[in-house]
């Protein structure tokens, strides 16, 4: 009697858990977002509503908006100005002997800070896609030894602190860098790469091409092989089958990664100035300078516009994503063996891959390798003193490398554990939510659309300083808050990896489960998650990567005794005992690289084995 | 007025949160909003001479806010100060490094949050101007010189604060560092705009970098507020590169990317090997160097104002001056301190140190910097 009662209670409990799990997770997600994101960031954005009307001030400034400022400053003159500009455009048509040649000469116009920022972000996005897409092709369609490990390692560049990327790029692309040394030895002469827009774009591609590779690979692996086979059996050529069956399933992932790349590079800051110089300044440079100068109104004005642009793009993307529907599967395409080719076409494809491999070696491997090399003093002057330096700090310094590793991993795992349910819940909402969900969805993507500087500053002003509640001042700080801040920064990646796959899952499957009495949460767990597990896994890797690379909120929310690997690296960089050398930082960077590489492999292996 | 009793609650309703996160609740009382700048705590200094070693009424620990590289390990100025102080006193010294420097305390003051520190170490003239601009109605720091014996030994041309709150404890001089195997010493500002030095110089963003701002101010000192932008137009026309911070520019210089970098006149302290010296020559333009004194100031809300004054007094003693300068790779701020011979051999002082005073910078420095940055970033 008692026993049966207990089962009834347990059964009721589990049914209740079933029914309320999803709403609870949703409410928890919102609570976390409100506490460590919307409220803190809101305290900064509210400055934009001040009496000075900083947003309008930015819009009407030629420096910020370039030629576009006229639209706001004196709209009536715009048609006349445009007409005058067009009147000065000269088009010359000629014949080169082989091809017709059309030259357009137009008077210059100022792009302004926003225009230039968008311009370099667009270039960076194109470069990242161009560099990342072939990687997805190779990883998704070919089999070779070490493929899975390589796939796990693709997002490594993502976690590297920008100063280390700069050091690596100077060593690789500088006047006396590896590439120029090779060019010189080939008798080709040295090329000035540094301090150009091109090298900034390349550095952005270094960071973001892996994102394209990883997200598209995941989508490619989820393509239903039987659909392709059906198309082929119906007489479609391989190209036609790719165009009609495969490409539509890759496009959402490609578009999502391109969007994320644009948004990231739009808010890029240290790397632009360190490799390009102030001549190539972006909006974020001014945002930082204004906050540093305590001019919060202008900073908030800039941040508002920056975020609006990012969110508007996100919204446009989400409309597009919603219009795409494709069938996902757990029946992936067979891979070709990379080192086994027959016929001219296959040989051509493989030589193309070899060229691509060379490019990857120069752009990705060389900067990373030169950092590792810098940690042992380079080839000419090899030394172990920077590693001894790390060992000394370990033995009793304020900043101990092993402690940094421990905190980094703890924060990374905890952030992943928090970000995954957040991302899946919001992803489910994004894929199957009701009316108006695209707007809400875009707003929920805000953590990637708000500048890190603004987030950090908002956290300081709200959570760290605290708010008055009656005669008490309540502040929220410490490692747990760091975890939530990291999770909030990382969860949009889970959403954008999971949502497109979730919307590809046949909704009839979910509906039948619901008709049979399963709660929405149960249907998500039992039916949908197993089908989109690769997306969840990719999202998990990104959430972990974001946490590992995060700097600002870690420093702001934790006290000086709690530090992660990037924080330790930064401290070693300015450590006077090592002089002006980047050696200790390079050694710490090498540790960071090794630890995160191992972590990514473990995440993929463990996650790959476990499928709900 | 700053009664602080933290009720560290055991979690925010979730047991797991208690272990690591903390919700701090601080009773701010009623009068907090009217916190005045008169240093009311010192009025309670009645328990004097309770220990044999210290004469201070304050129990400590002395809390010092500074920048990240000032303290932590052996070989830092902060660690030397802490060790030397604690060997002689019953009170301990605790350092903290807020991520956004003195701005954090400006924000705290504005928002009515606790200051939680006694001293700020490492403020410069421009920052002091900024603090005063931002806090017109209240004072973040209070007058200090009168309570510090030895403050009269500070070099006259380094005194940055007309109100005697911020006292310089060391100074650096901004100069060029050049590779003499590639270029000759430029000698003058004008030379930098000549063909010989086209594409040769690395500078830093004055909005975010200390040496970058000092170099900009140096050019304003030379050409005046009316003409410095013209000079910079020529400089940028000669392909000077303005990077974001000292570290990347110096790293590029070390890699041979360019033969000249805006840096510090103490460069050879690190590079004095026979083969290194030619690549690390210090160049004083027009025989000048721009002095960038670092100062210490006491918070008006300090819990231990007397102890703080005593610590600053200690910072200005000859021994501390020598050790802080050497560990910080800077120069002493007082007339009486002397540098170790070997150090002095490689740390150069400019024949004519120049710098802007507080009054000259007040109301100007932000506009100067912004106008300059807008001109360089012509997109």
Element at B83 (helix H, strand E): helix B77-88
A455: nearest Cα among A58, A36, A32: A36
Confidence at B36, pLDDT banded by 50, 70, 90: very low
Burial of A47-85, coded b for 16+ CB within 10 Å and e otherwise, reads bbeeeeebbeebbbbebbbbbbbbeeeeeeeeeeeeeee
Using CB atoms, pick whichever of A278, A293, A474 lies closest to residue B205. Answer: A278
In chain B, pLDDT over 70 holds for what percent of residues?
85
Q: How far apart are the first and last CA of chain A?
A: 34
Rounded to an integer, the average pLDDT of A202-211 is 95
Contacts of A111 in chain B (CB under 8 A): 379
Confidence at A6, pLDDT banded by 50, 70, 90: low
Contacts of A278 in chain B (CB under 8 A): 205, 242-244, 373, 376-377
Rounded to an integer, the average pLDDT of A314-337 is 75
Q: Cβ(B96)–Cβ(A560) under 8 Å?
A: yes
Residue B38 Cα, gap to closest chain A Cα (Å): 23
Residue B6 has a pLDDT of 33
Q: How many CB atoms lie within 10 A of CB A607?
A: 17
A577·B75 Cβ contact <8 A: yes
B256·A175 Cβ contact <8 A: yes
Q: Hunting for tokens 């470069």 — which residue is that?
A: A127
Residue B19 has a pLDDT of 38
pLDDT averaged over chain A?
Answer: 88
A272: nearest Cα among A170, A370, A195: A195
Q: Which one has a higher pLDDT value, A170 or A12?
A: A170
3-state secondary structure of B100: coil
Residue A327 has a pLDDT of 54
Rounded to an integer, the average pLDDT of A542-557 is 90
Confidence at A505, pLDDT banded by 50, 70, 90: confident
Residues 284-323 on B with a CB inside 8 Å of A are: none
A571·B243 Cβ contact <8 A: no
Q: What is the pTM of this model?
A: 0.88
Q: Cβ(A559)–Cβ(A525) under 8 Å?
A: no
Confidence at B17, pLDDT banded by 50, 70, 90: very low
Residue B60 has a pLDDT of 77
Per-residue pLDDT for A64 more than 80? yes
In chain B, pLDDT over 90 holds for what percent of residues?
78
Rounded to an integer, the average pLDDT of B119-146 is 95
B328·A465 Cβ contact <8 A: no
SS3 labels along A496-553: HHHHHHHHHCCHHHHHHHHHCCCCHHHHHHHHHHHHHHHHHHHHHHHHHHHHHHCCHH
Sign of the dihedral defined by the CA atoms of residues A336, A339, A345, A348, in that order: positive
Least confident of A377-381, A403-407, A594-598, B53-57: B53-57
Per-residue pLDDT for B264 more than 90? yes
- DSSP-assigned letters across all residues of B146-182: GG-TTGGGB-GGG---TTS-SEEEEEEEEEEEE-TTT
Strand B352-354 relative to strand B260-264, pairing: unpaired
3-state secondary structure of B47: coil
Residue B3 has a pLDDT of 33
Residue A18 has a pLDDT of 73
Residue A232 Cα, gap to closest chain B Cα (Å): 52
A277·B99 Cβ contact <8 A: no
Contacts of B112 in chain A (CB under 8 A): 468, 473
User: Distance between CA atoms of A212 and A199, rounded to whole angstroms?
Assistant: 19
Residue A530 has a pLDDT of 87
Per-residue pLDDT for B10 more than 60? no
ipTM of the modeled complex = 0.88
Q: What are the phi and psi torsion angles at B119 (to 5°)? A: -130, 150
Sign of the dihedral defined by the CA atoms of residues A486, A492, A496, A501, in that order: positive
Strand-pair partners of B288: B352
pLDDT in tens, A245-260: 889 889 988 999 999 9
A481: nearest Cα among A465, A493, A495, A464: A464
Helix axes B77-88, B318-328, angle to 10 degrees: 150
Tell me whether residue A186 is exposed, middle or buried, using C-beta atoms within 10 angstroms of its C-beta: 0 to 12, 13 to 18, 19 or more. exposed
Q: Hunting for tokens 């540094």 — which residue is that?
A: A194
Rounded to an integer, the average pLDDT of B143-151 is 95
Per-residue pLDDT for A479 more than 80? yes
Per-residue pLDDT for B5 more than 50? no
Contacts of B254 in chain A (CB under 8 A): 580
Residue A545 has a pLDDT of 92
pLDDT in tens, A225-250: 888 888 889 988 888 988 888 898 89
Per-residue pLDDT for A3 more than 80? no
Tell me whether residue A287 is exposed, middle or buried, using C-beta atoms within 10 angstroms of its C-beta: 0 to 12, 13 to 18, 19 or more. buried
B72·A398 Cβ contact <8 A: yes
Structure tokens at A578: 């090592």
Q: Cβ(B292)–Cβ(B329) under 8 Å?
A: no
Per-residue pLDDT for A398 more than 80? yes
Q: Cβ(A98)–Cβ(A264) under 8 Å?
A: no
3-state secondary structure of B201: strand
Residue A582 has a pLDDT of 86
User: Distance between CA atoms of A129 and A208, rounded to whole angstroms?
Assistant: 8
Per-residue pLDDT for B15 more than 60? no
Residues 165-224 on B with a CB inside 8 Å of A are: 205, 207-208
B376·A279 Cβ contact <8 A: yes
Rounded to an integer, the average pLDDT of B350-358 is 95
Residue B95 Cα, gap to closest chain A Cα (Å): 9
Residue A265 has a pLDDT of 95
Rounded to an integer, the average pLDDT of B328-345 is 94
Rounded to an integer, the average pLDDT of A458-473 is 85
Q: Which one has a higher pLDDT value, A587 or A108?
A: A587
User: Distance between CA atoms of A531 and B22, rounded to whole angstroms?
Assistant: 39
Q: How many CB atoms lie within 10 A of CB B57?
A: 18
In chain A, pLDDT over 90 holds for what percent of residues?
47
Per-residue pLDDT for B128 more than 80? yes
pLDDT in tens, A67-93: 889 889 899 888 988 888 888 888 887
Helix axes A565-573, A385-396, angle to 10 degrees: 120
Residue B285 Cα, gap to closest chain A Cα (Å): 23
Residues 121-150 on B with a CB inside 8 Å of A are: 130, 133-134
Per-residue pLDDT for B14 more than 70? no
Rounded to an integer, the average pLDDT of B75-92 is 94
B207·A270 Cβ contact <8 A: no
Q: How far, in whole angstroms, is CA A579 from its chain's centroid?
A: 34
In chain A, pLDDT over 70 holds for what percent of residues?
97
User: Distance between CA atoms of B59 and A47, rounded to whole angstroms?
Assistant: 41
Residue A221 Cα distances to A136, A301, A525, A603, B156, angstroms:
10, 43, 21, 18, 72
User: Distance between CA atoms of A559 and A464, rounded to whole angstroms?
Assistant: 11
Residue A581 has a pLDDT of 83
Confidence at A29, pLDDT banded by 50, 70, 90: very high
Per-residue pLDDT for B25 more than 70? no
Residue A434 has a pLDDT of 64
Confidence at A21, pLDDT banded by 50, 70, 90: confident
Per-residue pLDDT for A194 more than 70? yes
Structure tokens at A72: 């706001």
User: Distance between CA atoms of A580 and A564, rounded to whole angstroms?
Assistant: 22
């Amino acid at each position: 009697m008692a026993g049966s009662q207990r089962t009834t209670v347990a059964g009721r409990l589990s049914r209740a858990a079933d029914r309320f799990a999803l709403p609870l997770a949703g409410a928890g997600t919102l609570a976390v977002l409100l506490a460590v994101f919307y409220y803190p960031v809101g305290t900064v954005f509210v400055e934009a509503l001040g009496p000075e009307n900083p947003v309008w001030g930015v819009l009407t400034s030629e420096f910020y908006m370039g030629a576009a400022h006229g639209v706001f400053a004196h709209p009536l003159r715009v048609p006349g100005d445009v007409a005058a500009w067009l009147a000065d455009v000269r088009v010359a048509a000629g014949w080169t002997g082989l091809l017709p040649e059309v030259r357009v000469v137009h008077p210059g116009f100022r792009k302004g800070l926003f225009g230039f920022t968008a311009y370099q972000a667009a270039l960076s996005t194109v470069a990242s896609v161009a560099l990342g897409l072939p990687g997805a092709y190779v990883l998704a369609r070919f089999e070779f030894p070490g493929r899975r490990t390589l796939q796990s390692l693709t997002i490594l560049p993502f976690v590297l602190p920008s100063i280390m990327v700069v050091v690596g790029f100077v060593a690789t692309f500088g006047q006396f860098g590896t590439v120029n040394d090779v060019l010189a030895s080939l008798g080709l002469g040295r090329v000035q790469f540094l301090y150009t827009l091109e090298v900034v774009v390349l550095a952005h591609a270094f960071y973001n091409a892996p994102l394209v590779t990883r997200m598209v690979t995941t989508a490619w692996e989820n393509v239903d092989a039987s659909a392709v086979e059906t198309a082929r059996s119906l007489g479609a050529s391989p190209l036609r089958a790719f165009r009609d069956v495969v490409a539509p399933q890759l496009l959402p992932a490609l578009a999502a990664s391109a969007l994320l790349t644009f948004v990231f590079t739009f808010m890029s800051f240290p790397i632009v100035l360190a490799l390009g110089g102030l001549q190539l300044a972006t909006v974020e440079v001014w945002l930082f300078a204004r906050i540093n100068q305590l001019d919060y109104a202008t900073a908030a004005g800039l941040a508002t516009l920056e975020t609006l642009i990012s969110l508007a793009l996100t919204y446009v993307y989400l409309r597009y994503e919603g219009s795409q529907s494709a069938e996902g599967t757990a029946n992936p395409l067979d891979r070709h063996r990379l080192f086994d080719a027959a016929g001219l076409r296959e040989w051509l494809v493989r030589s193309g891959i070899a060229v691509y491999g060379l490019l990857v070696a120069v752009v990705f491997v060389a900067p990373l390798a030169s950092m590792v090399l810098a940690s042992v003093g380079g080839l000419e002057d090899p030394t172990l003193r920077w590693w001894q330096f790390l060992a000394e700090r370990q033995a009793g310094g304020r900043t101990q490398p092993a402690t940094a590793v421990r905190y980094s991993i703890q924060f990374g795992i905890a952030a992943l554990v928090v970000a995954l349910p957040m991302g899946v819940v919001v992803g489910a909402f994004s894929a199957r939510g009701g009316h108006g969900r695209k707007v809400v969805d875009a707003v929920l993507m805000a953590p990637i659309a708000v500048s890190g500087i603004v987030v950090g500053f908002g956290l300081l002003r709200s959570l760290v300083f605290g708010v008055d509640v009656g005669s008490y001042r309540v502040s929220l700080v410490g490692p747990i808050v760091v975890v939530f801040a990291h999770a909030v920064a990382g969860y949009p990646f889970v959403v954008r990896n999971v949502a497109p796959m979730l919307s590809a899952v046949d909704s009839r499957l979910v509906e039948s489960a619901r008709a049979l009495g399963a709660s929405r949460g149960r249907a998500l767990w039992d039916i949908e998650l197993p089908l989109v597990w690769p997306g969840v896994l990719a999202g998990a890797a990104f959430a972990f990567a974001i946490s590992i690379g995060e700097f600002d909120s870690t420093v702001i929310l934790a006290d000086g005794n709690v530090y992660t690997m990037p924080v330790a690296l930064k401290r070693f960089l300015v450590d006077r005992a090592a002089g002006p050398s980047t050696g200790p930082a390079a050694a710490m960077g090498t540790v960071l690289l090794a630890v995160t590489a191992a972590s990514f492999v473990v995440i993929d292996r463990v996650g790959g084995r476990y499928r709900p | 007025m700053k009664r602080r009793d933290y009720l560290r609650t055991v979690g925010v309703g979730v047991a797991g949160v208690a272990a690591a996160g903390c919700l701090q609740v601080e009773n701010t009382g009623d009068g907090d909003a009217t916190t005045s700048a008169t240093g009311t705590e010192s009025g309670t200094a009645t328990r004097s001479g309770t220990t044999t070693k210290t004469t201070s009424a304050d129990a400590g620990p002395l809390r010092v806010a500074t920048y990240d590289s000032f303290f932590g390990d052996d070989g830092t100025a902060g660690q030397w100060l802490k060790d030397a102080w604690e060997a002689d006193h019953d009170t301990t010294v605790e350092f903290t490094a807020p991520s956004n420097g003195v701005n954090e305390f400006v924000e705290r003051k504005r928002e009515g949050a606790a200051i939680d520190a006694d001293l700020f170490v490492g403020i410069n003239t421009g920052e002091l101007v900024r603090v005063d601009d931002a806090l017109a109605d209240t004072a973040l720091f209070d007058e200090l010189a009168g309570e510090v014996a030895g403050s009269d030994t500070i070099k006259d041309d380094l005194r940055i604060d007309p109100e005697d709150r911020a006292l310089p404890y060391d100074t650096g001089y901004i100069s060029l560092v050049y590779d003499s195997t590639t270029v000759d010493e430029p000698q003058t500002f004008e030379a930098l705009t000549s063909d010989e030095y086209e594409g040769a110089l690395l500078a830093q963003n004055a909005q975010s970098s200390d040496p970058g701002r000092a170099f900009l101010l140096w050019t304003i000192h030379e050409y005046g507020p009316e003409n410095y932008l013209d000079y910079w137009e020529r400089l940028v026309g000669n392909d000077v590169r303005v990077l974001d911070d000292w570290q990347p520019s110096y790293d590029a210089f070390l890699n041979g990317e360019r033969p000249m970098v805006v840096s510090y006149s103490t460069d050879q302290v690190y590079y004095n090997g026979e083969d290194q010296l030619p690549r690390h020559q210090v160049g004083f333009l027009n025989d000048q160097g721009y002095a960038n004194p670092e100062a210490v100031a006491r918070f008006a809300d300090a819990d231990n104002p007397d102890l703080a004054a005593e610590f600053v007094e200690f910072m200005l003693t000859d021994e501390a001056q020598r050790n802080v300068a050497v560990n910080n790779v800077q120069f002493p701020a007082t007339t009486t301190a002397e540098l170790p011979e070997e150090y002095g051999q490689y740390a150069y002082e400019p024949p004519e140190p120049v710098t802007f005073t507080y009054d000259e910078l007040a109301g100007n420095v932000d506009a100067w910097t912004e106008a300059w940055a807008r001109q360089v970033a012509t997109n």
